[in-house]
Amino acid sequence: MTYLKSGCWFTASWIGLLLLASHASADDEPFRPEVGKFPPLKNAHAYRGELIFVDHANRRGSIRVAGTGKFYRNDPQPFAMLPYGVIRYHGAPAELRDIPLGTVMHVRAFLPPDPKLSTVPVLPVDNKDKDVGHYRGTGTAPAENHVLLFEDEPSHCLRERKVWKLQQVEIEGNVGKIIARREPRDGGEAEEPTEELTFDAATRIWRGRERIHVADLISEEAWPEAGKKQLEGQAVLLGITWKPASGDGLSGAFTQFHISDIWLDDEAIQQAAEFQKETHKSFVRSRWMPAWIDAVEYGKFGRATVTATLFGGMDASLYSDFREGIGAQMNGAENTLKHAAGHYGPGHMASDGKLLDVTRASGDVPLGSSGIQIRFETDLIIEGIRTGRVVRVRPEGWPKMQIPREEYLFNNSPEDRFPKPDIFPEY
């Protein structure tokens, strides 16, 4: 009997351990993306924080990650965008340069695919589980600092079909607090906790194509001049930043985010998205579409046929410019998406050719990929167009432009191709 009991316990513990292990491997285990594969979003580590520093030319920056402690104490954590990493701002594709410092971003990130080439510090794999002390709490310095998805609050809500439901405003002198909760847009159970957010006289409120201020809402009697008012779950989208919250470090709110923008209706957020979309379309047309090389078939005398997958996350109209039979250019790039151009410029250095095929994947397309594969034929293949490498592609309908000095490599020294993390201060 004792033997049987012991056998049962042993089996039960094993089943328990297996369950725990399978749970851990699916959700919690650090995941390192493989070269040539778009990693699954579900394996990414998720966190959010305030954008502190941007080195847009190298697609990296720093973010103050919200943990379990006093937010203001958290050291800015360096991050690097994966070459196929997607950035979204105001519900539209964006670049790091488009996002104001201070914006609170939602992050989905992985371990560095190749730690030797990381442009940001490589941290211990279990760092996200560590309490870094000094009241900062756990999770403020994750090793998952290579970002697949970087999105601001309205982009996050639009992607997840959520809205903020305003419950109460408390105001005095155009400054105050709002109690609100992120909830499913189409109804259903709210799973997230209620948050208290600050606002002030600089908070922008967007209604249709109007930009109004807190003072305007007060004069319209939508909000009181002073005191509290119940807002009955008014559905809005919020732009969220961070400002130091009242308190001296011993008392006060440890993590309280700030509302920079309130979009009161669909027309207002659609207009914001439209401006950002047009900004980014113009950017990608001038810098070319990033892609990676799936295969190269070499011909004679420098000829080659190159198969590449265009990266995802851009406006659909940009992809529709890639059409079978049109002329195109393909240039070598790096993981930072910098052109390998030299002073002559990408238009001069790139391989010229023609798009033989443009095929679209029919099934599930992983985030990071557009699902569009092109076959490009050139009579002069250049270095850099090799399987697994990152390139930039321009269909002939896009304007030929020269890019600024910090966005291309000259002489291609290893330090320029693979920037070191030493620009980031240690705290």
Kindly list the residues in this chain that would bind other proteins in the complex (CB under 8 A): 52-57, 64, 70, 72-76, 97-98, 100-102, 134-135, 200-202, 204, 206, 209-213, 216, 243-249, 252, 271, 274-276, 278-279, 282, 286, 343, 399-406, 410-411, 416, 422-423, 425, 427
Question: By C-beta, is 33 or 347 nearer to other proteins?
Answer: 347
Minimum CB–partner distance for residue 47 and other proteins (Å):
17
The answer for residues whose C-beta is within 8 angstroms of residue 297's C-beta and 6 or more apart is 304, 305, 306
Say how many CA atoms lie within 13 Å of 292 toward its Cβ: 22
Listed residue (276, 319, 305, 310) closest to 291, CA to CA: 310
Question: By C-beta, is 194 or 282 nearer to other proteins?
Answer: 282
**Residue position matching structure tokens 């151009």:** 341
Question: By C-beta, is 111 or 237 nearer to other proteins?
Answer: 237
Question: By C-beta, is 75 or 152 nearer to other proteins?
Answer: 75
Minimum CB–partner distance for residue 399 and other proteins (Å):
4
Please state, in angstroms and rounded to a whole number, the distance separating the CA atoms of residues 193 and 49. 17
Minimum CB–partner distance for residue 298 and other proteins (Å):
32
Minimum CB–partner distance for residue 81 and other proteins (Å):
15
Question: By C-beta, is 31 or 135 nearer to other proteins?
Answer: 135
Question: By C-beta, is 76 or 313 nearer to other proteins?
Answer: 76
Listed residue (375, 383, 354) closest to 310, CA to CA: 375
Minimum CB–partner distance for residue 41 and other proteins (Å):
28
Minimum CB–partner distance for residue 165 and other proteins (Å):
25
Listed residue (395, 386, 260, 234) closest to 314, CA to CA: 395
Helix (H, G, I), strand (E, B) or coil at 26: helix
Question: By C-beta, is 153 or 261 nearer to other proteins?
Answer: 261
Minimum CB–partner distance for residue 212 and other proteins (Å):
6
Please state, in angstroms and rounded to a whole number, the distance separating the CA atoms of residues 51 and 87. 13
Q: How far is CA 25 from the centre of its chain?
A: 23
Is the Cβ–Cβ distance between 82 and 113 less than 8 Å? Answer: yes
Which tokens go with 38?
A: 């778009």
Q: Which residues of 206-232 are buried (b: 16+ CB within 10 A; e: fewer)?
A: bbeeeebebeebeeeebbeeeeeeebe
The answer for residues whose C-beta is within 8 angstroms of residue 324's C-beta and 6 or more apart is 355, 356, 357, 358
